[in-house]
Structure 1
């Protein structure tokens, strides 16, 4: 909690906010989740102080003011932003994330008896004279197709990666083969691998859904793994993290998420495919499985999703893929109809 207050001093001036975040910490939520909650709430509390309003007595009008401010705020990344979908600088997903923090904070105040209601709207099912419907939340939720590279862009990335150290090449191969998230990849341990059967175990505590899964990897990745394990032995022979840092400052320590992100970013820039990120390979793998005809439930199991709805958001069939499927389907239907017409012509030529 001290680190959060040091990062956002405003949390130290609002005891209720500090108490709420402490509850989440005590419940064992991931540090990155706590950090995201703290950031969203700190920004809202700053608005409350500027408006001279007690957060416990804020109204829906103050929430609306916060939403307007978020919607017009320029991105802190400036020229490094690759794509914007909010029209201002913060994406729809970021706006939703900020509001979740505030919504959960007010849920806490209601449960503690400090408020009668939650001023942050929720999209929820409501009944009406013409049937049921879904009430809109404060921010319209936009769901965009995930970006995946074209074949040419993917080859450009691989060409640059081919000159990278074996650790980087193995990480790229493994993250694609097994559709791993960044946290899952960097958290792999030496005992999570089964080289004999070419399987990797993704431990529950490292996954977003807290569900363990075992997934295969290719023979090519197996060769890279053998090469890397020989190299790793020169860095450290101790069991533990699979991917180790070789920098002077963190030598033989597990590779951090941020270091891996920097490596991928450097490769993306060198390949002139700047939209390529640590999550792109996961999107590409799941989409490729769909292209190969895998059932959506099998893909969901492979990806570690609890629901197929999540899987469908990850699968991105391009216009070309859909056009090819449409053409194949239409050819089949066309053939059937022509056959029926031919049969009809034959029947019409028979004496009656």
Structure 2
């Protein structure tokens, strides 16, 4: 149902499977006969888990029990007894524009040598920060995804939904240089018989951060996506446009970046306002 009706990605399906398997171990009775009391006891058994993990597992269970009821496999839905931890959404980690510039300078210096992997890495960086792609969207790009003179790229994102994202002339040039070295095959960023993995992309991005003198643990593909969004918003981008570019189904997800921008404004006022150093 999750694959065919909800259009869930394979990563979402794997996450649901893992949550249901871990819950089955804690529940100790079959889902088909689990009572509200059984589900209520999960709260104490999940006590050592983070609130985010508890919320995710409870959401998976609610979806699952709803499926059982809809398909006539249960006559009741006991999921109201599941815990509902209160979550405070953390602000996304980002890099400032100076740090982004340092990453590009380091990547461009390495690519100037003509080294194939350096050219590939520069193309990856251009697409992550320049287009705000998710890691899975980037590594899964087909070889012909970017066409010369075409300012947009069609991306298949979460839930198999397609959207248009802009491609800068810088990114187009970086990809063109990399394509001259890519062997024939279906992927823009091949690795063996498949495409580059998300794990390998994560490692590459962290190494590029280290090359630029930035602590690697501060940087990931998603941090670059956050930087893309925050810097666009700071530059005056409309929130609805940003929602479309990022592929967010709900604008509430996009609104987190308004809080990031507000937090930066508060820091700026506290650091730069003339009254900051004034004593009574």
**TM-score, structure 2 normalization:** 0.79
Aligned twin of 1:133: none
C-alpha separation between the residues in 2 aligned to 1:149 and 1:291? 13
**Candidates 94, 102, 127, aligned match of 1:148:** 94
Aligned twin of 1:300: 243
C-alpha separation between the residues in 1 aligned to 2:99 and 2:152? 28
C-alpha separation between the residues in 2 aligned to 1:118 and 1:299? 38
2:129–2:224: 8 Å Cα contact kept in structure 1? yes
For residues 233-283 of structure 1, the C-alpha deviation after alignment (integer angstroms, 9 at most, x for no partner) is xxx134x211122xxxx16x3222232123224444663140311111111
For residues 81-104 of structure 1, the C-alpha deviation after alignment (integer angstroms, 9 at most, x for no partner) is xxxxxxxxx3x4332221222112
1:107–1:118: 8 Å Cα contact kept in structure 2? yes
C-alpha separation between the residues in 2 aligned to 1:113 and 1:324? 58
Where relative contact order (Cα < 8 A, 6+ residues apart) is larger, the structure is: 2
Deviation at 1:225, TM superposition (A): 1.8
Larger Rg: 1
**Candidates 281, 287, 296, aligned match of 2:230:** 287
**Candidates 261, 265, 282, aligned match of 2:202:** 261
For residues 311-334 of structure 1, the C-alpha deviation after alignment (integer angstroms, 9 at most, x for no partner) is 1124521533356699xxxxxxxx
Tell me if 1:100 matches 2:59.
Answer: yes
Aligned twin of 1:20: none
Q: CA RMSD in A?
A: 3.0
1:148–1:280: 8 Å Cα contact kept in structure 2? yes
Aligned twin of 2:10: 31
C-alpha separation between the residues in 2 aligned to 1:114 and 1:48? 18
Tell me if 1:227 matches 2:168.
Answer: no
Tell me if 1:217 matches 2:167.
Answer: yes
Deviation at 1:139, TM superposition (A): 1.7
C-alpha separation between the residues in 1 aligned to 2:206 and 2:45? 30
Gaps of 5+ in 2: 111-116, 271-280
Q: What does 1:238-257 align with in structure 2 at a 5 Å threshold?
A: 238=185, 240-245=186-191, 250=192, 253-257=194-198
Aligned twin of 2:114: none
Aligned twin of 2:219: 276
Rate the CA distance shift 1:69–1:275 in 2: closer, same or farther, 3 A. Answer: farther
Aligned length in residues: 260
C-alpha separation between the residues in 1 aligned to 2:184 and 2:71? 52
Aligned twin of 1:87: none
2:157–2:163: 8 Å Cα contact kept in structure 1? no
Query: Helix, strand or coil: the match of 2:164?
Result: strand
Rate the CA distance shift 1:243–1:307 in 2: closer, same or farther, 3 A. Answer: same
Aligned twin of 2:19: 40
Larger deviation: 148-157 or 171-180? 148-157
For residues 49-107 of structure 1, the C-alpha deviation after alignment (integer angstroms, 9 at most, x for no partner) is 2xxx343332334323323333404xxxxxxxxxxxxxxxx3x4332221222112211
Query: Helix, strand or coil: the match of 1:274?
Result: helix
**TM-score, structure 1 normalization:** 0.64
1:153–1:273: 8 Å Cα contact kept in structure 2? no
Rate the CA distance shift 1:325–1:226 in 2: closer, same or farther, 3 A. Answer: farther
Rate the CA distance shift 1:201–1:113 in 2: closer, same or farther, 3 A. Answer: closer
Tell me if 1:191 matches 2:135.
Answer: no
Query: Helix, strand or coil: the match of 2:77?
Result: coil
Aligned twin of 2:31: 55
Aligned twin of 1:120: 79
Gaps of 5+ in 1: 1-22, 74-89, 124-136, 327-352
Aligned twin of 2:273: none
**Candidates 235, 247, 264, aligned match of 1:320:** 264
